[in-house]
Structure 1
Amino acid sequence: MRALPPLVTVQAFEAAARHESFAAAAEELHVSPATISQRVRSLETHLGVALFERHPRTVALTELGRAYLPAVRESLDDLAVATTGLFGPARREQLTVRTQVSYAATWLAPHVAEFQELHPGIDLRVVCAVWSEALDPGEVDVDIHQGRGPWAGVHSEVLHRDAAVAIQGPAAPPVTSVADLAARPRVQVLGFDDVWQRLLPPDAPPPRRALTVDTSLAALEVVAAGEACAVIPERFARTAVRAGRVVLALDRSWPTRQAHYLLRRHEDPRPSPRARAFLAWLDDLDARVPALATEE
Protein backbone atom coordinates (compact mmCIF):
# COMPACT_ATOMS: atom_id res chain seq x y z
CA MET A 1 0.00 0.00 0.00
CA ARG A 2 1.33 3.45 -0.91
CA ALA A 3 2.46 5.58 2.03
CA LEU A 4 0.62 8.70 0.90
CA PRO A 5 0.22 11.74 3.14
CA PRO A 6 -3.25 12.56 4.53
CA LEU A 7 -5.37 14.55 2.09
CA VAL A 8 -5.97 17.41 4.54
CA THR A 9 -2.22 18.03 4.78
CA VAL A 10 -1.90 18.17 1.00
CA GLN A 11 -4.86 20.56 0.73
CA ALA A 12 -3.29 22.80 3.37
CA PHE A 13 0.02 22.81 1.51
CA GLU A 14 -1.61 23.72 -1.83
CA ALA A 15 -3.71 26.53 -0.36
CA ALA A 16 -0.79 27.98 1.61
CA ALA A 17 1.45 27.83 -1.47
CA ARG A 18 -1.16 29.56 -3.62
CA HIS A 19 -1.78 32.36 -1.12
CA GLU A 20 1.78 32.49 0.25
CA SER A 21 0.10 32.81 3.61
CA PHE A 22 -1.07 30.38 6.29
CA ALA A 23 -3.72 32.89 7.39
CA ALA A 24 -5.25 33.20 3.90
CA ALA A 25 -5.16 29.42 3.46
CA ALA A 26 -6.92 29.04 6.80
CA GLU A 27 -9.67 31.45 5.75
CA GLU A 28 -10.22 29.52 2.50
CA LEU A 29 -10.37 26.13 4.22
CA HIS A 30 -12.40 27.41 7.21
CA VAL A 31 -9.85 26.42 9.84
CA SER A 32 -7.45 28.36 12.04
CA PRO A 33 -3.95 29.46 10.91
CA ALA A 34 -2.54 27.22 13.63
CA THR A 35 -4.32 24.24 12.06
CA ILE A 36 -2.83 25.05 8.65
CA SER A 37 0.62 25.34 10.21
CA GLN A 38 0.16 22.03 12.00
CA ARG A 39 -1.01 20.26 8.84
CA VAL A 40 1.88 21.62 6.78
CA ARG A 41 4.33 20.54 9.51
CA SER A 42 2.75 17.09 9.45
CA LEU A 43 3.23 16.89 5.68
CA GLU A 44 6.84 18.02 5.95
CA THR A 45 7.46 15.38 8.63
CA HIS A 46 5.82 12.73 6.45
CA LEU A 47 7.99 13.69 3.46
CA GLY A 48 11.12 14.37 5.47
CA VAL A 49 11.76 17.76 3.85
CA ALA A 50 10.96 21.43 4.41
CA LEU A 51 8.38 22.73 1.93
CA PHE A 52 8.22 26.34 3.12
CA GLU A 53 10.53 29.03 4.37
CA ARG A 54 8.72 30.79 7.23
CA HIS A 55 8.79 34.60 7.42
CA PRO A 56 7.03 36.90 9.92
CA ARG A 57 4.00 37.67 7.72
CA THR A 58 4.38 35.34 4.73
CA VAL A 59 5.71 31.98 3.70
CA ALA A 60 7.71 31.07 0.60
CA LEU A 61 8.15 27.72 -1.06
CA THR A 62 11.50 26.01 -0.87
CA GLU A 63 12.99 24.58 -4.05
CA LEU A 64 11.51 21.17 -3.21
CA GLY A 65 8.17 22.80 -2.40
CA ARG A 66 8.08 24.47 -5.83
CA ALA A 67 8.90 21.15 -7.49
CA TYR A 68 6.16 19.35 -5.54
CA LEU A 69 3.39 21.91 -6.09
CA PRO A 70 2.47 21.22 -9.77
CA ALA A 71 1.92 17.50 -9.09
CA VAL A 72 -0.17 18.30 -6.02
CA ARG A 73 -2.36 20.76 -7.94
CA GLU A 74 -2.87 18.35 -10.82
CA SER A 75 -3.79 15.52 -8.44
CA LEU A 76 -6.31 17.66 -6.55
CA ASP A 77 -7.82 18.87 -9.84
CA ASP A 78 -8.10 15.30 -11.13
CA LEU A 79 -9.75 14.21 -7.89
CA ALA A 80 -12.26 17.07 -8.18
CA VAL A 81 -13.09 16.19 -11.80
CA ALA A 82 -13.49 12.48 -11.02
CA THR A 83 -15.66 13.14 -7.97
CA THR A 84 -17.89 15.54 -9.88
CA GLY A 85 -18.15 13.25 -12.90
CA LEU A 86 -19.00 10.11 -10.94
CA PHE A 87 -21.07 11.38 -8.05
CA GLY A 88 -22.53 14.63 -9.32
CA PRO A 89 -21.70 18.16 -8.26
CA ALA A 90 -23.20 20.05 -5.40
CA ARG A 91 -23.96 22.67 -8.06
CA ARG A 92 -23.63 22.53 -11.82
CA GLU A 93 -20.62 24.19 -13.40
CA GLN A 94 -20.61 26.17 -16.63
CA LEU A 95 -17.80 25.85 -19.17
CA THR A 96 -17.54 28.65 -21.72
CA VAL A 97 -15.71 27.84 -24.96
CA ARG A 98 -14.97 30.68 -27.36
CA THR A 99 -14.13 29.68 -30.91
CA GLN A 100 -14.88 30.42 -34.55
CA VAL A 101 -18.16 29.37 -36.10
CA SER A 102 -16.69 26.83 -38.54
CA TYR A 103 -14.86 24.98 -35.76
CA ALA A 104 -17.98 24.98 -33.60
CA ALA A 105 -20.32 23.82 -36.37
CA THR A 106 -18.18 21.24 -38.16
CA TRP A 107 -15.97 19.83 -35.39
CA LEU A 108 -17.59 20.42 -32.02
CA ALA A 109 -21.26 20.08 -32.93
CA PRO A 110 -21.09 16.53 -34.36
CA HIS A 111 -19.29 15.23 -31.26
CA VAL A 112 -20.21 17.46 -28.33
CA ALA A 113 -22.99 15.17 -27.03
CA GLU A 114 -20.24 12.71 -26.14
CA PHE A 115 -18.56 15.26 -23.86
CA GLN A 116 -21.89 16.05 -22.21
CA GLU A 117 -22.49 12.35 -21.60
CA LEU A 118 -19.05 11.98 -20.01
CA HIS A 119 -19.42 15.12 -17.88
CA PRO A 120 -23.08 15.54 -16.91
CA GLY A 121 -22.18 18.08 -14.21
CA ILE A 122 -20.79 20.58 -16.72
CA ASP A 123 -23.10 22.88 -18.70
CA LEU A 124 -21.31 23.75 -21.94
CA ARG A 125 -21.65 27.18 -23.54
CA VAL A 126 -20.07 27.68 -26.98
CA VAL A 127 -19.78 31.31 -28.10
CA CYS A 128 -18.76 32.35 -31.62
CA ALA A 129 -18.25 35.41 -33.78
CA VAL A 130 -19.76 38.73 -32.71
CA TRP A 131 -21.20 37.42 -29.45
CA SER A 132 -17.75 36.50 -28.18
CA GLU A 133 -16.67 40.15 -28.21
CA ALA A 134 -19.20 40.91 -25.48
CA LEU A 135 -17.59 38.43 -23.11
CA ASP A 136 -15.31 39.56 -20.33
CA PRO A 137 -12.00 37.68 -20.82
CA GLY A 138 -12.44 36.20 -17.36
CA GLU A 139 -15.64 34.47 -18.50
CA VAL A 140 -13.86 32.37 -21.13
CA ASP A 141 -12.61 28.98 -19.93
CA VAL A 142 -11.31 27.68 -23.26
CA ASP A 143 -10.36 30.06 -26.08
CA ILE A 144 -9.69 28.37 -29.44
CA HIS A 145 -8.54 30.47 -32.38
CA GLN A 146 -7.52 29.55 -35.93
CA GLY A 147 -4.65 31.43 -37.51
CA ARG A 148 -0.90 31.61 -37.83
CA GLY A 149 0.08 32.83 -34.35
CA PRO A 150 1.58 33.92 -32.13
CA TRP A 151 -0.44 36.95 -31.04
CA ALA A 152 0.64 39.84 -28.85
CA GLY A 153 -0.62 39.86 -25.30
CA VAL A 154 -1.64 36.21 -25.09
CA HIS A 155 0.04 32.88 -24.53
CA SER A 156 -0.70 30.50 -27.42
CA GLU A 157 -0.12 26.80 -27.87
CA VAL A 158 -1.01 24.62 -30.85
CA LEU A 159 -4.15 22.56 -30.35
CA HIS A 160 -4.47 21.15 -33.90
CA ARG A 161 -2.32 21.52 -36.98
CA ASP A 162 -4.47 22.20 -40.05
CA ALA A 163 -4.14 20.33 -43.32
CA ALA A 164 -6.31 21.32 -46.30
CA VAL A 165 -8.46 19.23 -48.62
CA ALA A 166 -10.28 20.04 -51.84
CA ILE A 167 -14.00 19.25 -51.72
CA GLN A 168 -16.79 19.30 -54.29
CA GLY A 169 -20.47 18.39 -54.47
CA PRO A 170 -21.43 14.73 -54.95
CA ALA A 171 -22.97 15.50 -58.35
CA ALA A 172 -19.95 17.38 -59.70
CA PRO A 173 -17.91 15.74 -62.50
CA PRO A 174 -14.89 13.77 -61.24
CA VAL A 175 -11.54 15.50 -60.88
CA THR A 176 -8.41 13.63 -61.93
CA SER A 177 -5.75 16.28 -61.41
CA VAL A 178 -5.01 19.65 -59.87
CA ALA A 179 -5.36 21.13 -63.36
CA ASP A 180 -8.98 19.91 -63.49
CA LEU A 181 -9.56 21.55 -60.14
CA ALA A 182 -8.24 24.90 -61.38
CA ALA A 183 -10.88 25.20 -64.08
CA ARG A 184 -13.86 24.48 -61.81
CA PRO A 185 -16.14 27.12 -60.27
CA ARG A 186 -14.35 28.00 -57.07
CA VAL A 187 -15.32 29.03 -53.54
CA GLN A 188 -12.50 30.79 -51.73
CA VAL A 189 -12.33 31.34 -47.97
CA LEU A 190 -10.92 34.64 -46.76
CA GLY A 191 -7.67 34.05 -44.93
CA PHE A 192 -7.29 30.59 -46.45
CA ASP A 193 -6.90 31.56 -50.12
CA ASP A 194 -3.10 31.30 -50.00
CA VAL A 195 -3.56 27.51 -50.08
CA TRP A 196 -4.95 27.83 -53.61
CA GLN A 197 -1.89 29.84 -54.62
CA ARG A 198 0.46 27.11 -53.40
CA LEU A 199 -1.74 24.29 -54.66
CA LEU A 200 -2.10 25.44 -58.27
CA PRO A 201 0.73 25.87 -60.78
CA PRO A 202 1.61 29.49 -61.69
CA ASP A 203 0.15 29.07 -65.19
CA ALA A 204 -3.16 27.64 -64.00
CA PRO A 205 -6.18 29.14 -65.79
CA PRO A 206 -8.53 31.34 -63.77
CA PRO A 207 -11.70 29.64 -62.51
CA ARG A 208 -14.90 29.86 -64.54
CA ARG A 209 -16.59 31.48 -61.56
CA ALA A 210 -15.27 32.52 -58.18
CA LEU A 211 -17.10 33.23 -54.95
CA THR A 212 -15.38 34.45 -51.78
CA VAL A 213 -16.86 33.76 -48.34
CA ASP A 214 -15.53 34.45 -44.86
CA THR A 215 -15.99 31.03 -43.25
CA SER A 216 -15.18 27.45 -44.18
CA LEU A 217 -18.70 26.54 -43.07
CA ALA A 218 -20.19 28.81 -45.76
CA ALA A 219 -17.83 27.36 -48.37
CA LEU A 220 -18.85 23.83 -47.41
CA GLU A 221 -22.56 24.65 -47.76
CA VAL A 222 -22.07 26.30 -51.17
CA VAL A 223 -20.11 23.28 -52.40
CA ALA A 224 -22.72 20.82 -51.10
CA ALA A 225 -25.44 22.64 -53.04
CA GLY A 226 -23.78 22.72 -56.47
CA GLU A 227 -20.78 21.96 -58.67
CA ALA A 228 -18.22 24.35 -57.20
CA CYS A 229 -15.10 23.22 -55.39
CA ALA A 230 -13.37 24.65 -52.32
CA VAL A 231 -10.27 24.14 -50.24
CA ILE A 232 -10.99 24.06 -46.51
CA PRO A 233 -9.34 22.62 -43.38
CA GLU A 234 -9.52 18.84 -43.53
CA ARG A 235 -10.97 18.62 -40.02
CA PHE A 236 -13.96 20.73 -41.07
CA ALA A 237 -14.79 18.37 -43.95
CA ARG A 238 -14.76 15.06 -42.07
CA THR A 239 -18.38 14.84 -41.00
CA ALA A 240 -19.78 16.16 -44.30
CA VAL A 241 -17.65 13.78 -46.40
CA ARG A 242 -18.55 10.75 -44.30
CA ALA A 243 -22.24 11.72 -44.50
CA GLY A 244 -22.01 12.00 -48.31
CA ARG A 245 -22.91 15.70 -48.40
CA VAL A 246 -19.63 16.53 -50.16
CA VAL A 247 -16.79 14.42 -51.57
CA LEU A 248 -13.05 14.80 -51.76
CA ALA A 249 -12.14 16.18 -55.16
CA LEU A 250 -8.68 14.62 -54.81
CA ASP A 251 -7.71 11.88 -52.38
CA ARG A 252 -4.96 13.82 -50.62
CA SER A 253 -4.40 16.76 -48.32
CA TRP A 254 -1.91 19.61 -48.24
CA PRO A 255 -0.09 21.25 -45.33
CA THR A 256 -1.04 24.81 -44.47
CA ARG A 257 0.54 27.60 -42.46
CA GLN A 258 -2.45 27.70 -40.13
CA ALA A 259 -3.33 25.88 -36.95
CA HIS A 260 -5.91 25.99 -34.20
CA TYR A 261 -4.42 27.51 -31.07
CA LEU A 262 -5.42 27.49 -27.44
CA LEU A 263 -5.12 31.09 -26.24
CA ARG A 264 -4.64 32.30 -22.70
CA ARG A 265 -3.88 35.74 -21.33
CA HIS A 266 -0.52 35.90 -19.59
CA GLU A 267 -2.19 36.91 -16.32
CA ASP A 268 -4.73 34.06 -16.40
CA PRO A 269 -4.29 31.15 -13.98
CA ARG A 270 -3.86 27.59 -15.16
CA PRO A 271 -6.97 26.03 -16.78
CA SER A 272 -9.75 25.05 -14.39
CA PRO A 273 -10.54 21.36 -13.81
CA ARG A 274 -13.57 21.62 -16.13
CA ALA A 275 -11.44 23.25 -18.85
CA ARG A 276 -8.79 20.55 -18.47
CA ALA A 277 -11.50 17.90 -18.81
CA PHE A 278 -12.72 19.51 -22.04
CA LEU A 279 -9.20 19.79 -23.50
CA ALA A 280 -8.43 16.17 -22.60
CA TRP A 281 -11.63 15.13 -24.39
CA LEU A 282 -10.61 17.18 -27.46
CA ASP A 283 -7.21 15.47 -27.54
CA ASP A 284 -8.85 12.07 -27.30
CA LEU A 285 -11.37 12.97 -30.02
CA ASP A 286 -8.58 14.09 -32.32
CA ALA A 287 -6.83 10.74 -31.85
CA ARG A 288 -9.99 8.70 -32.46
CA VAL A 289 -11.49 10.39 -35.53
CA PRO A 290 -9.29 9.50 -38.52
CA ALA A 291 -8.26 12.01 -41.16
CA LEU A 292 -9.86 11.79 -44.60
CA ALA A 293 -6.68 11.75 -46.66
CA THR A 294 -2.93 11.44 -46.41
CA GLU A 295 -1.00 14.71 -46.29
CA GLU A 296 1.47 15.33 -49.10
Structure 2
Amino acid sequence: MPLPPLNALRAFEAAARHESFARAANELHVTQGAVSRHVKLLEEHLGLVLFRRLPQGIELTAPGRALLPELTASFERIARATRLVTDGDRELKVASPPTLAARWLVRRLSRFQELRPDMRVTLGIICDHGDFLRGGFDLGILDVQTDLNRPARLEAVPLRPEAMTPVCSPALLAGPNGPLRDPDDLAGRILLHPYVDRQDWLRWARAAGLPDHVALEGGYVFETLEMAIAAAIGGLGVAIADLHLIREELRSGALVAPFDLVSSHGTGYVLFSEKGRFDEPKIAAFRDWLLAEVASDGISPPSI
Protein backbone atom coordinates (compact mmCIF):
# COMPACT_ATOMS: atom_id res chain seq x y z
CA MET A 1 0.00 0.00 0.00
CA PRO A 2 1.41 3.44 -0.88
CA LEU A 3 1.93 5.91 1.94
CA PRO A 4 -1.09 8.09 2.77
CA PRO A 5 -0.87 11.81 1.96
CA LEU A 6 1.26 13.64 4.52
CA ASN A 7 -1.32 16.40 5.04
CA ALA A 8 -3.95 13.78 5.82
CA LEU A 9 -1.69 12.13 8.40
CA ARG A 10 -0.90 15.51 9.96
CA ALA A 11 -4.56 16.48 10.17
CA PHE A 12 -5.49 13.16 11.78
CA GLU A 13 -2.64 13.36 14.32
CA ALA A 14 -3.63 16.87 15.42
CA ALA A 15 -7.35 16.06 15.56
CA ALA A 16 -6.72 12.85 17.52
CA ARG A 17 -4.34 14.53 19.95
CA HIS A 18 -6.80 17.37 20.63
CA GLU A 19 -9.90 15.16 20.27
CA SER A 20 -11.31 18.06 18.29
CA PHE A 21 -11.37 19.07 14.61
CA ALA A 22 -11.71 22.73 15.66
CA ARG A 23 -8.61 22.77 17.88
CA ALA A 24 -6.65 20.84 15.25
CA ALA A 25 -7.63 23.45 12.67
CA ASN A 26 -6.43 26.21 14.99
CA GLU A 27 -3.05 24.50 15.46
CA LEU A 28 -2.56 23.81 11.74
CA HIS A 29 -3.87 27.24 10.63
CA VAL A 30 -6.50 25.74 8.33
CA THR A 31 -10.27 25.54 8.43
CA GLN A 32 -12.18 22.93 10.39
CA GLY A 33 -13.64 21.70 7.12
CA ALA A 34 -10.15 21.14 5.72
CA VAL A 35 -9.22 18.98 8.72
CA SER A 36 -12.41 16.96 8.32
CA ARG A 37 -11.73 16.40 4.59
CA HIS A 38 -8.13 15.30 5.23
CA VAL A 39 -9.25 12.85 7.92
CA LYS A 40 -11.92 11.45 5.60
CA LEU A 41 -9.30 11.05 2.86
CA LEU A 42 -7.04 9.12 5.26
CA GLU A 43 -9.91 6.86 6.32
CA GLU A 44 -10.71 6.10 2.68
CA HIS A 45 -7.03 5.42 1.94
CA LEU A 46 -6.72 2.99 4.86
CA GLY A 47 -10.19 1.52 4.57
CA LEU A 48 -10.71 2.16 8.28
CA VAL A 49 -12.90 4.35 10.45
CA LEU A 50 -10.59 6.38 12.68
CA PHE A 51 -13.17 8.58 14.44
CA ARG A 52 -16.72 8.14 15.58
CA ARG A 53 -18.62 11.32 14.76
CA LEU A 54 -20.85 12.02 17.77
CA PRO A 55 -23.32 14.85 18.43
CA GLN A 56 -21.03 16.26 21.13
CA GLY A 57 -17.76 15.82 19.21
CA ILE A 58 -15.47 13.05 17.97
CA GLU A 59 -14.14 9.88 19.54
CA LEU A 60 -11.22 7.72 18.43
CA THR A 61 -11.92 4.18 17.33
CA ALA A 62 -9.56 1.32 18.22
CA PRO A 63 -7.57 1.73 14.93
CA GLY A 64 -7.38 5.47 15.57
CA ARG A 65 -6.04 4.96 19.09
CA ALA A 66 -3.41 2.54 17.77
CA LEU A 67 -2.30 4.93 15.01
CA LEU A 68 -2.03 8.12 17.09
CA PRO A 69 1.10 7.43 19.22
CA GLU A 70 3.01 6.07 16.22
CA LEU A 71 2.23 9.15 14.16
CA THR A 72 3.02 11.56 17.00
CA ALA A 73 6.42 9.93 17.53
CA SER A 74 7.11 9.99 13.78
CA PHE A 75 6.33 13.69 13.44
CA GLU A 76 8.51 14.46 16.45
CA ARG A 77 11.40 12.54 14.84
CA ILE A 78 10.92 14.45 11.59
CA ALA A 79 10.97 17.75 13.48
CA ARG A 80 14.16 16.80 15.32
CA ALA A 81 15.85 15.70 12.11
CA THR A 82 14.88 18.96 10.41
CA ARG A 83 16.31 21.02 13.25
CA LEU A 84 19.59 19.10 13.12
CA VAL A 85 20.25 19.96 9.46
CA THR A 86 19.28 23.63 9.67
CA ASP A 87 20.60 26.54 11.69
CA GLY A 88 17.78 25.81 14.15
CA ASP A 89 20.38 24.20 16.39
CA ARG A 90 21.82 27.68 16.94
CA GLU A 91 18.49 29.39 17.68
CA LEU A 92 16.60 28.84 20.91
CA LYS A 93 13.09 30.12 21.59
CA VAL A 94 12.31 30.32 25.31
CA ALA A 95 9.04 31.50 26.87
CA SER A 96 7.91 32.28 30.40
CA PRO A 97 5.25 34.28 32.29
CA PRO A 98 5.77 38.06 31.97
CA THR A 99 6.86 38.93 35.52
CA LEU A 100 9.34 36.06 35.76
CA ALA A 101 10.73 37.01 32.35
CA ALA A 102 11.19 40.69 33.22
CA ARG A 103 12.43 40.32 36.80
CA TRP A 104 14.47 37.14 36.68
CA LEU A 105 15.20 35.66 33.27
CA VAL A 106 15.97 38.69 31.11
CA ARG A 107 18.50 40.01 33.62
CA ARG A 108 20.52 36.78 33.32
CA LEU A 109 20.51 36.19 29.58
CA SER A 110 23.70 38.16 29.01
CA ARG A 111 25.55 35.57 31.09
CA PHE A 112 24.29 32.76 28.89
CA GLN A 113 25.27 34.67 25.75
CA GLU A 114 28.78 35.05 27.15
CA LEU A 115 28.98 31.28 27.61
CA ARG A 116 27.38 30.46 24.25
CA PRO A 117 27.93 33.34 21.81
CA ASP A 118 27.14 30.90 18.99
CA MET A 119 23.50 30.65 20.08
CA ARG A 120 20.73 33.19 19.58
CA VAL A 121 18.07 33.24 22.31
CA THR A 122 14.63 34.66 21.66
CA LEU A 123 12.42 35.25 24.69
CA GLY A 124 8.64 35.18 24.50
CA ILE A 125 5.70 35.42 26.88
CA ILE A 126 3.28 32.59 27.67
CA CYS A 127 0.49 32.07 30.18
CA ASP A 128 -0.22 28.39 29.53
CA HIS A 129 0.87 25.35 27.51
CA GLY A 130 -1.34 26.35 24.59
CA ASP A 131 0.63 29.57 24.17
CA PHE A 132 3.83 27.49 24.16
CA LEU A 133 2.63 25.08 21.47
CA ARG A 134 1.15 27.80 19.26
CA GLY A 135 4.32 29.89 19.53
CA GLY A 136 6.66 27.12 18.38
CA PHE A 137 8.94 27.55 21.41
CA ASP A 138 11.76 25.18 22.32
CA LEU A 139 11.57 25.65 26.09
CA GLY A 140 8.92 27.01 28.40
CA ILE A 141 8.61 27.99 32.04
CA LEU A 142 5.31 27.95 33.93
CA ASP A 143 4.23 27.87 37.55
CA VAL A 144 3.58 24.45 39.02
CA GLN A 145 -0.17 25.04 39.36
CA THR A 146 -0.61 25.85 35.67
CA ASP A 147 1.64 22.90 34.83
CA LEU A 148 -0.85 20.50 36.42
CA ASN A 149 -2.70 20.67 33.08
CA ARG A 150 0.40 19.84 31.02
CA PRO A 151 -0.44 17.96 27.77
CA ALA A 152 0.95 14.44 27.43
CA ARG A 153 3.26 15.48 24.58
CA LEU A 154 5.24 17.73 26.96
CA GLU A 155 7.61 16.84 29.81
CA ALA A 156 8.97 18.99 32.63
CA VAL A 157 11.82 19.24 35.12
CA PRO A 158 11.67 21.22 38.39
CA LEU A 159 13.20 24.69 38.11
CA ARG A 160 12.80 26.62 41.36
CA PRO A 161 10.30 27.30 44.16
CA GLU A 162 8.77 30.61 45.07
CA ALA A 163 9.13 32.29 48.45
CA MET A 164 5.75 33.94 48.95
CA THR A 165 5.13 36.47 51.72
CA PRO A 166 3.16 39.72 52.18
CA VAL A 167 4.95 42.95 51.20
CA CYS A 168 3.92 46.56 51.31
CA SER A 169 5.12 50.14 51.26
CA PRO A 170 6.87 51.21 54.51
CA ALA A 171 4.13 53.81 54.96
CA LEU A 172 1.55 51.06 55.45
CA LEU A 173 3.38 49.49 58.40
CA ALA A 174 1.74 52.04 60.69
CA GLY A 175 -1.34 53.11 58.77
CA PRO A 176 -4.73 54.39 59.96
CA ASN A 177 -5.81 50.80 60.75
CA GLY A 178 -3.01 50.40 63.28
CA PRO A 179 0.46 48.83 63.05
CA LEU A 180 1.12 45.81 60.87
CA ARG A 181 3.01 43.56 63.27
CA ASP A 182 1.53 40.07 62.95
CA PRO A 183 -0.72 38.24 60.45
CA ASP A 184 -3.89 39.00 62.45
CA ASP A 185 -3.35 42.69 61.66
CA LEU A 186 -4.16 41.94 58.00
CA ALA A 187 -7.87 41.90 58.85
CA GLY A 188 -9.37 45.03 57.36
CA ARG A 189 -6.32 45.78 55.17
CA ILE A 190 -6.58 46.03 51.40
CA LEU A 191 -4.99 42.92 49.90
CA LEU A 192 -3.50 42.92 46.41
CA HIS A 193 -3.91 39.66 44.51
CA PRO A 194 -1.45 38.89 41.68
CA TYR A 195 -3.81 36.36 40.06
CA VAL A 196 -7.56 36.07 39.77
CA ASP A 197 -7.70 32.74 41.62
CA ARG A 198 -6.33 34.42 44.81
CA GLN A 199 -4.59 31.14 45.69
CA ASP A 200 -1.23 32.70 46.66
CA TRP A 201 -2.84 34.70 49.44
CA LEU A 202 -5.00 31.75 50.45
CA ARG A 203 -2.03 29.38 50.83
CA TRP A 204 -0.10 31.91 52.88
CA ALA A 205 -3.11 32.75 55.10
CA ARG A 206 -3.68 29.08 55.88
CA ALA A 207 0.01 28.63 56.74
CA ALA A 208 -0.35 31.61 59.09
CA GLY A 209 -3.44 30.12 60.72
CA LEU A 210 -5.78 32.80 59.41
CA PRO A 211 -9.35 32.06 58.33
CA ASP A 212 -9.88 31.78 54.57
CA HIS A 213 -12.09 34.86 54.38
CA VAL A 214 -9.15 37.11 55.30
CA ALA A 215 -7.46 36.14 52.03
CA LEU A 216 -10.50 35.78 49.79
CA GLU A 217 -12.70 38.77 50.53
CA GLY A 218 -12.20 42.23 49.07
CA GLY A 219 -9.00 43.74 47.80
CA TYR A 220 -7.81 44.24 44.26
CA VAL A 221 -7.11 41.52 41.69
CA PHE A 222 -4.46 41.98 38.99
CA GLU A 223 -3.55 39.97 35.92
CA THR A 224 0.18 39.80 36.67
CA LEU A 225 2.45 39.83 39.70
CA GLU A 226 4.24 42.86 38.23
CA MET A 227 1.06 44.92 38.49
CA ALA A 228 0.47 43.84 42.09
CA ILE A 229 4.07 44.76 43.01
CA ALA A 230 3.69 48.21 41.44
CA ALA A 231 0.45 48.76 43.34
CA ALA A 232 2.13 47.76 46.63
CA ILE A 233 5.01 50.17 46.01
CA GLY A 234 2.43 52.88 45.39
CA GLY A 235 0.81 52.23 48.76
CA LEU A 236 -2.47 50.79 47.48
CA GLY A 237 -2.38 47.80 49.80
CA VAL A 238 -0.50 44.67 50.87
CA ALA A 239 0.61 42.32 48.09
CA ILE A 240 1.71 38.70 48.21
CA ALA A 241 4.96 38.35 46.26
CA ASP A 242 7.90 36.06 45.55
CA LEU A 243 10.90 37.34 47.53
CA HIS A 244 13.23 36.09 44.78
CA LEU A 245 11.69 38.60 42.36
CA ILE A 246 11.65 41.74 44.54
CA ARG A 247 15.17 41.75 46.00
CA GLU A 248 15.96 45.20 44.61
CA GLU A 249 12.79 46.73 46.08
CA LEU A 250 13.53 45.19 49.46
CA ARG A 251 17.14 46.43 49.42
CA SER A 252 16.09 49.94 48.42
CA GLY A 253 13.30 50.09 51.01
CA ALA A 254 10.57 50.60 48.39
CA LEU A 255 8.95 47.48 49.85
CA VAL A 256 9.12 45.80 53.24
CA ALA A 257 8.17 42.27 54.28
CA PRO A 258 6.55 42.68 57.72
CA PHE A 259 6.33 38.98 58.64
CA ASP A 260 8.85 36.16 58.91
CA LEU A 261 6.49 33.53 57.54
CA VAL A 262 7.37 32.55 53.94
CA SER A 263 5.27 30.01 52.05
CA SER A 264 6.71 27.77 49.33
CA HIS A 265 4.16 24.96 49.53
CA GLY A 266 2.41 24.31 46.21
CA THR A 267 4.30 27.08 44.42
CA GLY A 268 7.27 27.28 42.10
CA TYR A 269 8.20 26.91 38.45
CA VAL A 270 8.99 24.08 36.07
CA LEU A 271 10.99 24.03 32.85
CA PHE A 272 9.33 22.05 30.09
CA SER A 273 9.65 21.05 26.45
CA GLU A 274 8.27 18.51 24.05
CA LYS A 275 9.03 14.93 25.01
CA GLY A 276 12.45 13.76 23.90
CA ARG A 277 13.85 17.24 23.31
CA PHE A 278 15.69 17.81 26.60
CA ASP A 279 18.62 15.82 25.18
CA GLU A 280 19.02 18.13 22.17
CA PRO A 281 22.34 19.97 22.60
CA LYS A 282 20.95 23.51 22.51
CA ILE A 283 18.14 22.70 24.93
CA ALA A 284 20.37 20.73 27.28
CA ALA A 285 22.87 23.62 27.32
CA PHE A 286 20.23 26.18 28.30
CA ARG A 287 18.62 23.85 30.84
CA ASP A 288 21.94 23.15 32.57
CA TRP A 289 22.85 26.84 32.61
CA LEU A 290 19.44 27.83 34.01
CA LEU A 291 19.61 25.25 36.79
CA ALA A 292 23.11 26.52 37.64
CA GLU A 293 21.70 30.06 37.88
CA VAL A 294 19.06 28.83 40.32
CA ALA A 295 21.71 27.10 42.40
CA SER A 296 23.89 30.23 42.43
CA ASP A 297 20.95 32.08 44.02
CA GLY A 298 20.91 29.51 46.80
CA ILE A 299 17.53 28.21 45.69
CA SER A 300 16.72 24.49 45.76
CA PRO A 301 14.51 23.15 42.95
CA PRO A 302 10.98 22.12 43.99
CA SER A 303 9.67 18.60 43.63
CA ILE A 304 6.99 17.88 41.05
Contact 1:185 1:208 in 2 (8 A): no
Which letter maps to 1:212?
V
Q: Which of 226, 231, 235 does residue 235 from structure 2 map onto?
A: 226
Question: For residue 167 of structure 1, what is the aligned residue in structure 2?
Answer: 167
Distance 2:294 2:132 in 1: 28
Q: Report matched runs for 1:1-296 at 5 Å.
A: 93-129=90-126, 139-148=136-145, 149-150=147-148, 151-153=150-152, 154-173=154-173, 175-190=180-195, 193-200=198-205, 201-202=210-211, 210-266=219-275, 268-290=276-298
Contact 1:143 1:262 in 2 (8 A): yes
* Larger CA Rg, structure 1 vs 2: 1
Q: Which moved more, 1:282-291 or 1:199-208?
A: 199-208
Which letter maps to 1:199?
W
Which letter maps to 1:240?
E
Distance 2:165 2:264 in 1: 9
Which letter maps to 1:100?
P
Distance 1:121 1:282 in 2: 17
Distance verdict in 2 for CA 1:130–1:191, change over 3 Å = closer
Identical columns (%): 21
Distance 1:91 1:205 in 2: 50
Contact 1:223 1:246 in 2 (8 A): yes
Q: Which moved more, 1:185-194 or 1:216-225?
A: 185-194
Distance 1:242 1:225 in 2: 17
Distance verdict in 2 for CA 1:249–1:264, change over 3 Å = same
Distance 1:239 1:271 in 2: 35
TM-score using structure 2 length: 0.56
Contact 1:179 1:204 in 2 (8 A): no
Distance verdict in 2 for CA 1:194–1:94, change over 3 Å = same
Unaligned runs of 5+ in 1: 1-89, 292-296
SS of the equivalent of 2:283 reads helix
Distance 2:248 2:287 in 1: 20
Contact 2:142 2:269 in 1 (8 A): yes
SS of the equivalent of 2:230 reads helix
1:262 positional shift: 1.8
1:274 positional shift: 2.4
Distance 2:107 2:262 in 1: 22
1:98 positional shift: 1.1
TM-score using structure 1 length: 0.58
Distance 1:138 1:229 in 2: 35
Contact 2:157 2:271 in 1 (8 A): yes
Contact 2:165 2:204 in 1 (8 A): no
CA root-mean-square deviation:
3.3
Distance 1:186 1:255 in 2: 19
Deviation digits for residues 239-281 of structure 1, max 9, x if unmatched? Answer: 4323433221323311231321122233x43343222222222
1:121 positional shift: 2.0
Answer 1 or 2: which has greater strand percent. Answer: 1
Distance 1:169 1:208 in 2: 21
SS of the equivalent of 1:249 reads coil
Distance 2:256 2:266 in 1: 24
Answer 1 or 2: which has greater helix percent. Answer: 2
Unaligned runs of 5+ in 2: 1-86, 175-179, 300-304
